[in-house]
């Protein structure tokens, strides 16, 4: 009797639980449908409303979007913008940037921000299909591909043609950019960020060495790998003398294959072509190459091992984090003799040196970056009621004035100045200060080469120092664009396979190389390593990328 | 009849049952993703079925054996090291005559439980750093060679497990304290009158009284054999120790969540749960046979 009751009670509970959860989903769907329907109604209403407005004012207005001039809407509307998180340590909140406030004021569009803290938040957004109206720099190609297949994203082609002269111009002039952002079905679902600025993309890291110490020791700036080794050794041998501290670190790197501050440029000195994120490059005859398993690597690895073995690079570097790197390299007074960094924060102490001559007859080179274009930076979702306004907003951001200010701080905050001849003076400031004024690289800028050529950097600013180094030191060494593998679209199946293979390959490479740095054994272990990489699917990985690359070039 | 008579009891049961149903049974329909090639725009039901493809992919992947054995070893080691110590701590403290000392020790051993994992791992990083870490400084004073602990495959498991013990021993002993305090004082009095030593009292009174608690916790603990917590391993992981530190949870994270392969991650998660379930059932049966204590 009792048992029966319990059983029944339990089954009722389970049944109701199932029912509840089912209701949960179906009601969710239902409300979605109604909102979609409502949206449509509203849109048509809005369009007809706008139509009458236009008749009254004689202006060309479609769905609240004004075709020319500012504000870009005929009444204040709000767009919900999905954005990546800022670094709260030194950057303002999205709604507090001067640049954003001015953008809102000029365009008449109120922006409401929805911040995504990293990949998980973004994945959740795409998985739950709970979208903002538009987004800046949110989502991967795979996510956007999938969402587009589900009809969740506006194709932008017609909107660009009609509402965005800036982007239309770019795509007609820059065929590479157009092909990179066009999906398989011929549509553009997301605008890129364009920053065709040599001081940024022609170089990844400056190779810095402590000039003060070199002078104290009476050494010349090293030009060959042997001289460099001797300089590092001299730093170590003279620890505690002059301004060289007792606990000197001759060379600081943050792991080997780290994009920022890693040791990959040492490979470049031996003529091994590497790229910023440490994966593949393209050979001169168009073959995709993964150089970290090529025999050319043995020589630079032996060199690097020697630096570790003699204590010129601390072993802690193999497990270092980005924070360790910042603390060590920026410490005052200096404790690091040499390191790799995007900015030279202390140009009075450190000087940028070109990649070194290894004496093996190969031309030394240094990494450059593919980030003159970054895909998936401006997306309009199908629940957005005002796609025309959104596109005009994107067009406004793409305007040179707005793009320059978004990167380097606003005119009004005094970080940038627009000269009468159309050039821009980049006064520059510490990252912390600009981070209060503008969202830097988190919005879909359009900084074409034409605009970039008009930038004049204050020579004492970080970017100014970098620009000078790129121009004077690294110009002949930076790896040309044609040798870089751009982020070409793959099918979702290919993306999945590639990410799996790449994880295995990179893990194997990192573990093996790091172990060699710690314990030696490079020459003995090399063949094993190469065959292990083959077993892990190196060839399959390369052939997938090669196929995509060939397809892309034949388009 | 019974239901009516004891209706108050059933009312008390409702919140627990509802929360179980909503938060544990409800989401289980998501498990069908393990058998599907999930696309958000096609939904749970609309995505195409792929059978056991996701499972096969995991079993056949390059990393399967490595990831499985790492997980099992780490988990088993952690269990063996961290399970008995709270019992020892609780029993020992139980015999400390000074209440003040007892409380102090208790507080000190609880405290680390409230330190967040990120902080614990940072502490490990600092104490065990090769060139300036405390431990290596001591080694150098003793004339020993400096060791890169954080990048060592042999040190990883010890660091992981013993920092976990340090963090958890006080907290886990709470439940044993409460069981010990429930033991009838007269038993101890009688034993003392009979001239039993402290060791004998532990052996014949405390441990037998603790046995049901110990066995129950042990059974539940084996149910987690394949679930090594994610965050600490992930934070401690680097390329040098990854041959031993890549466990199921970190692998799922980087393959599944990181690159949005939901079906694949769910399949791995489901595999993990099934193994855990089998473990619990087996251990439960064994314990039923051997000690007549079991969870159900």
| Cβ contact B239–A510 (<8 Å) | yes
- pLDDT of amino acid B1: 61
Region B239-252: what's the mean pLDDT? 90
Strands A77-84 vs A109-116: parallel, antiparallel or unpaired: parallel
Chain B residues within 8 A of A537 when measuring between CB atoms: 62
Under CATH, domain A206-367+481-554 is a member of which superfamily?
Periplasmic binding protein-like II (3.40.190.10)
Answer whether A73-193+373-416+431-441 and A206-367+481-554 agree in fold: yes
Nearest CB to A150; choose among B41, B125, B151: B41
- Taking contacts as CB-CB distances below 8 angstroms, the residues of chain A near B22 are 17, 20-21
Q: Which helix (H) or strand (E) holds A29?
A: helix A2-57
Task: Give the distance from residue A24's alpha carbon to the nearest chain B alpha carbon, in angstroms.
Answer: 10
Candidates A319, A493, A518, A529, partner chain B, best to mutate (most B CBs within 10 A): A319
Q: How far is it, in rounded angstroms, from Cα B97 to Cα A104?
A: 71
Compute the distance between CA of residue A457 and CA of residue A427 in angstroms, rounded to an integer: 6
Query: Residue A331: which residues within 8 A CB-CB, separation 6 or more?
Result: none
Percent of chain A with pLDDT over 70: 88
Omega cis (within 30) before A71: yes
Residue environment code for A119-152, b if the CB has 16+ CB neighbours within 10 A, otherwise e: eeebbebbeebebbbbbbbbbbbbbbbbbbbbeb
Q: Report the pLDDT value the prediction gives residue B42, as an integer from 0 to 100.
A: 83
Residue B32, CB half-sphere, CA atoms under 13 Å: how many? 11
Q: What is the rounded distance in angstroms from the CA atom of residue A78 to the CA atom of residue A74?
A: 12
CATH of domain A73-193+373-416+431-441: 3.40.190.10
Per DSSP, the residues of A45-67 read HHHHHHHHHHHHH---EETTEES
Stronger pLDDT, A328 or B224, i.e. the higher one: A328
- ipTM beyond cut 0.95: no
| Mean pLDDT, rounded, for A471-477 | 94
pLDDT at position A496, please? 85
Residue spans of alpha helices (H) in B25-63: 43-46, 53-60
A384 pLDDT above the threshold of 90 = yes
Q: Nearest by CB to B39, which of A17, A146, A321? A: A146
**What CATH number was assigned to the domain covering residues B46-291?**
1.10.3720.10
Distance CA A264, CA A340 (A): 10
The answer to which of A11-25, A197-211, A249-263 has the lowest mean pLDDT is: A11-25
Is the pLDDT assigned to residue B212 strictly greater than 60? yes
Peptide bond into A333 cis (omega under 30): yes
Where residue B37 falls among pLDDT bands split at 50, 70, 90? confident
Q: State the pLDDT at residue A24.
A: 37
Q: What is the pLDDT of residues B91-106, one digit of tens each?
A: 999 888 888 999 999 9
Contact A87, A115 (CB under 8 A): no
Q: Which of B2, B41, B236, B257 to mutate to test the interface with A (most CBs of A within 10 A)?
A: B41
Q: Are the C-beta atoms of B184 and B167 separated by less than 8 Å?
A: no
Interval A389-439: pLDDT, tens: 999 999 999 999 999 999 999 999 989 999 999 999 998 777 667 888 999
pLDDT digits (tens, 9 = 90+) for A165-194: 999 999 999 999 999 999 988 999 999 999
pLDDT in tens, A38-95: 444 444 444 444 444 444 455 688 899 998 888 999 988 999 999 999 888 888 899 9
What are the domain boundaries of chain A? 31-63, 73-193+373-416+431-441, 206-367+481-554
Tally Cβ neighbours within 10 Å of residue B248. 26
Question: pLDDT tens digits for A250-306?
Answer: 999 999 999 999 999 999 999 999 987 768 999 999 999 999 999 999 999 999 999
The predicted model gives A539-549 an average pLDDT of: 94
User: Residue A514: its chain B contacts at CB < 8 A?
Assistant: 151, 238-240
As a whole number, mean pLDDT of residues A114-125 equals 88
Inter-chain contact B242–A511, Cβ cutoff 8 Å?
yes
* Residues A217/A469, Cβ–Cβ less than 8 Å: no
Please give the residue of chain B at the shortest CA–CA distance from A16: B21
pLDDT given for residue A155 in this prediction: 95
Model confidence band, residue A505 (pLDDT cutoffs 50, 70, 90): very high
What mean pLDDT is reported for chain A? 87
Per domain, the residue ranges of chain B are 46-291
Please enumerate in sequence order all residues whose Cβ is within 8 A of that of A319, keeping only pairs 6 or more positions apart, or say none: A255, B125, B148, B150, B151, B238, B240
A225 pLDDT more than 90: yes
Residue scoring higher pLDDT (A14 or A493): A493
d(CA A415, CA A461): 11
If you average pLDDT over every residue of chain B, what do you get? 88
**Which residues, including other chains, have CB under 8 Å from residue A78's CB and lie 6 or more apart?**
A109, A110, A111, A112
Mean pLDDT, residues B146-153 taken together: 89
> What is the reported pLDDT for A314?
93
Instruction: Determine the Cα–Cα distance for residues A221 and B167; give it in Å rounded to an integer.
Output: 51
């Amino acid at each position: 009797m009792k048992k029966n009751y319990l059983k029944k009670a339990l089954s009722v509970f389970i049944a109701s639980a199932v029912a509840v959860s089912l209701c949960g989903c179906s009601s969710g769907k239902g409300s979605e449908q109604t909102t979609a329907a409502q949206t449509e109604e509203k849109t048509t209403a809005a369009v007809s409303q706008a139509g009458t407005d236009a008749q009254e004012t004689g202006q060309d207005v479609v769905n609240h979007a004004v075709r020319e001039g500012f504000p870009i809407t005929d009444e204040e509307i709000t767009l919900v913008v999905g954005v990546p998180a800022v670094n709260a340590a030194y950057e303002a909140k999205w709604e507090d940037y001067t640049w954003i406030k001015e953008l809102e004021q000029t365009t008449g569009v109120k922006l409401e921000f929805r911040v995504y803290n990293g990949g998980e938040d973004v994945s959740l957004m795409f998985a739950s299909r709970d979208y903002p109206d538009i987004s800046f720099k949110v989502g991967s190609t795979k996510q956007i591909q999938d969402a587009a297949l589900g009809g969740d994203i506006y194709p932008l082609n017609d909107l660009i043609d009609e509402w965005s002269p800036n982007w239309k111009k770019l795509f007609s002039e820059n065929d590479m950019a157009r092909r990179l952002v066009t999906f398989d079905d011929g549509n553009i679902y997301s605008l890129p960020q364009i920053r065709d600025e040599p001081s940024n993309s022609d170089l990844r890291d400056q190779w810095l060495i402590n000039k003060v110490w070199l002078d104290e020791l009476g050494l010349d700036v090293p030009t060959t790998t042997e001289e460099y080794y001797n300089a590092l050794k001299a730093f170590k041998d003279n620890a505690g003398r002059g301004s060289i501290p007792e606990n000197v670190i001759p060379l600081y790197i943050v792991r080997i294959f780290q994009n920022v501050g890693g040791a990959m440029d040492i490979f470049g000195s031996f003529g091994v072509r590497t790229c910023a994120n440490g994966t593949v490059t393209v050979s001169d005859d168009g073959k995709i190459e993964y150089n970290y398993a090529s025999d050319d690597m043995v020589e630079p690895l032996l060199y690097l091992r020697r630096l570790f073995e003699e204590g010129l690079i601390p072993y802690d570097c193999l497990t270092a984090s980005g924070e360790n790197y910042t603390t060590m390299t920026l410490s005052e007074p200096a404790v690091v003799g040499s390191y790799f960094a995007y900015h030279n924060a202390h140009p009075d102490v450190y000087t940028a040196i070109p990649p070194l001559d290894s004496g093996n007859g190969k031309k030394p080179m240094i990494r450059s970056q593919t980030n003159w274009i970054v895909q998936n930076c401006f997306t309009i979702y199908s629940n957005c009621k005002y796609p025309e306004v959104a596109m005009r907003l994107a067009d406004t951001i793409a305007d040179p004035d707005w793009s320059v200010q978004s990167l380097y701080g606003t005119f009004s905050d005094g970080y940038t100045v627009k000269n009468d001849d159309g050039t821009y003076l980049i006064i520059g400031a510490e990252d912390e200060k600009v981070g209060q004024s503008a969202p830097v690289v988190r919005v879909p800028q359009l900084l074409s080469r034409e605009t970039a050529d008009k930038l004049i950097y204050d020579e004492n600013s970080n970017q100014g120092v970098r620009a000078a180094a790129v121009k004077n030191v690294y110009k002949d060494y930076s790896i040309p664009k044609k040798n870089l593998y751009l982020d070409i679209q793959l099918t979702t199946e290919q993306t999945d396979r590639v990410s799996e293979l790449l994880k295995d390959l990179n893990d194997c490479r990192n573990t093996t190389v790091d172990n060699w740095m710690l314990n030696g054994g490079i020459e003995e272990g090399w063949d094993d390593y190469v065959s292990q990489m083959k077993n892990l699917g190196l060839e399959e990985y390369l052939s997938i990328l090669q196929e995509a690359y060939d397809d892309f070039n034949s388009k | 009849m019974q239901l009516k008579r004891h209706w108050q009891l059933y009312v008390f049961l409702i919140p627990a049952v509802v929360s179980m149903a909503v938060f544990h049974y409800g989401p289980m329909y998501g498990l069908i993703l393990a058998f599907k090639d999930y696309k958000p725009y096609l939904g749970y039901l609309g995505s195409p079925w792929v059978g056991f493809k996701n499972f096969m992919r995991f079993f056949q992947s390059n990393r399967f054996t490595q990831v499985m054995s790492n997980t099992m070893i780490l988990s088993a080691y952690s269990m063996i090291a961290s399970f008995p110590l709270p019992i020892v701590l609780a029993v020992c403290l139980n015999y400390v005559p000074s209440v003040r000392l007892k409380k102090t020790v208790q507080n000190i051993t609880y405290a680390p439980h409230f330190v967040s994992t990120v902080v614990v791992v940072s502490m490990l990083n600092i104490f065990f750093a090769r060139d300036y870490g405390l431990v290596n400084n001591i080694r150098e004073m003793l004339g020993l060679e400096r060791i890169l602990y954080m990048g060592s495959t042999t040190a990883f498991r010890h660091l992981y497990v013993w920092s976990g013990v340090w963090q958890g021993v006080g907290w886990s002993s709470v439940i044993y304290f409460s069981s010990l305090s429930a033991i009838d004082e007269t038993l101890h009095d009688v034993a003392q009158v009979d001239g039993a030593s402290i060791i004998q009292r532990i052996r014949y009174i405390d441990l037998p009284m603790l046995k049901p608690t110990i066995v129950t916790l042990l059974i539940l603990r084996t149910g987690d054999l394949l679930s090594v917590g994610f965050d600490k391993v992930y934070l401690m992981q680097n390329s040098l120790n990854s041959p031993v530190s890549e466990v199921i949870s970190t692998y799922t994270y980087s393959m599944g969540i990181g690159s949005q392969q939901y079906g694949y991650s769910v399949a791995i998660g489901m595999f993990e749960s099934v193994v855990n379930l089998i473990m619990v059932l087996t251990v439960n049966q064994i314990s039923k046979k051997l000690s007549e204590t079991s969870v159900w």
